[in-house]
Amino acid sequence: MRVLVSGASGFLGSALITTLAGSPANQVTGIYRILPAITDGPPKHAFLTGNLVPNEDWSCIPRFAHALIHTAARVHKLADTAADPLAEYRRINVDGTLNLARQAAAAKLRRFVFISTIKVNGECTDPGMAYSADDVPAPSDPYGVSKWAAEQGLREIASRTGMEVVIIRPPLVYGPGVKGNFRSMLRWLMRGIPLPMGALNNRRSFVYLGNLIDLIVTCVDHPAAANQTFLASDGEDMSTPELLRRMGLALGRPARLISIPTSLLKAGAAVFGKADVVGRLCDSLCVDMVKTRQMLDWKPSTSVDRGLRETAESFLLETRN
């Protein structure tokens, strides 16, 4: 099976290529902005270069490949310095993606697997509720809006060209090499910093990197996945305090949690310009994977505790080196 992966140097793309290239049945091509240096012997996959911009020439895409897994994107930024963030997100995530998809369809690729975001559904869920794949989208920030616009454009390309499109919307992804807020929490726990989140009673869905990769690989050739949208998670929702305690166990550093009312926590965050960061720690965001499980006969293969342990082990190794 010949598979292309965009965003090949990223957190998800690089791990996905490693998994796919580990099977002799696959011919894998990574799409990079800049060719990587080869230091560990002959590469196990092929290379292409290109930028995710509206006018990029993708004539280098091999014809009749089985699938292109599109992980490249302008990712969500809490402190965005662009003069017009929505315009910049649209230029990369919408116009750049659709330009790539149109040329992939012209090259007769069978399937385009698009890694979107749960932000297309919205920013948070009410207590006891969960987003489903067929809910009416309600993105509110520029990143989520751009991903939703890309999804709509991809569906139009699919209907016009016959190239199958599969959309996957993950929540926060964690695993070895994780960055962003999840890595910040690992650092806080390692330093023994008291965290004012003991009183939170929220619920959030997460997805371990290995589980997301397993779902993506399933969607590459599963007949029922064609032209569908799926949500992803580990299948076990946690409150922020529970997540921190279990992360602490994985690190061997017990979480030091202080109980402060959520209203005070959010008010303090607003004063210091951290409302978005704290909102993601305080609010609930749950996903319903019934469609994913039933249509694909898929379930997460790695438990939350094992995923946290592998994430912690990688983090500890990185901090020691």
What is the per-residue pLDDT across 196-255, written as a single tens digit (0 to 9) for each?
999 999 999 999 999 999 999 999 999 999 999 999 999 999 999 999 999 999 999 999
* Whole-number pLDDT of residue 321: 67
Q: Which of 190, 290, 277 is nearest to 240 (CA)?
A: 277
Let me know: does 249 contact 93? Beta carbons within 8 Å.
no
| 156 domain-assigned | yes
| 204 domain-assigned | no
* Whole-number pLDDT of residue 258: 94
Let me know: does 151 contact 114? Beta carbons within 8 Å.
yes
* Whole-number pLDDT of residue 166: 98
Edge-to-edge strands, sheet with 164-169: 46-49, 27-32, 2-6, 67-70, 111-115, 164-169, 229-231
Task: Count other Cβ atoms within 10 Å, centred on residue 186.
Answer: 25
pLDDT score of 154 more than 90: yes
Q: Percent of the chain scored above 90 by pLDDT?
A: 83
| 310 domain-assigned | no
Let me know: does 242 contact 144? Beta carbons within 8 Å.
no
Catalytic residue among 32, 89, 143, 174: 143
Q: What CATH number corresponds to the domain at position 118?
A: 3.40.50.720
SS percent in the chain: helix, strand, coil, step 5: 45, 15, 45
Q: Which residue has the tokens 């149109």?
A: 102
* Whole-number pLDDT of residue 272: 66
| 236 domain-assigned | no
* Whole-number pLDDT of residue 196: 92
Amino acid letter, residue 168: I
Residue 56, C-beta contacts closer than 8 angstroms, at least 6 positions apart: 50, 96, 99, 100
Q: Place 41 in a pLDDT band, splitting at 50, 70 and 90.
A: low
Structural domain span for residue 102: 2-169
d(CA 213, CA 186): 22
* Whole-number pLDDT of residue 43: 74
DSSP letter assigned to residue 289: -
Structure-token pair, residue 180: 């962003």
Mean pLDDT throughout 150-164? 98
The more confidently predicted of residues 87 and 274 is 87
Q: Which residues pair with 208 in a beta bridge?
A: 174
| 192 domain-assigned | no
Residue 171, C-beta contacts closer than 8 angstroms, at least 6 positions apart: 118, 204, 205, 206, 207, 232, 233, 285, 287
Average pLDDT, the chain: 93
d(CA 207, CA 225): 19
Structure-token pair, residue 190: 């390692």
pLDDT in tens, 260-307: 888 888 787 676 677 777 777 889 999 999 999 999 999 999 999 999
Q: Which residues pair with 28 in a beta bridge?
A: 3
- Rounded (10°) CA dihedral 89, 92, 98, 103: 180
Judge whether 131 counts as a catalytic residue. Answer: no
Q: Place 319 in a pLDDT band, splitting at 50, 70 and 90.
A: confident
| 51 domain-assigned | yes
| 158 domain-assigned | yes
Structure-token pair, residue 218: 């399933």
Let me know: does 132 contact 291? Beta carbons within 8 Å.
yes
Mean pLDDT throughout 58-84? 85
| 206 domain-assigned | no
Total domain count for the chain? 1
Structure-token pair, residue 47: 């290379």
- Model pTM? 0.94
Q: Which of 72, 75, 66, 61 is nearest to 20 (CA)?
A: 66
Q: What DSSP string runs through 9-68?
A: TSHHHHHHHHHHHTSTT-EEEEEESSPPP--SSS-SSEEEE---STT---TTSPTT-SEE
* Whole-number pLDDT of residue 167: 98
Range in 34-43, 138-147, 193-202 with the lowest mean pLDDT: 34-43
Mean pLDDT throughout 152-181? 97
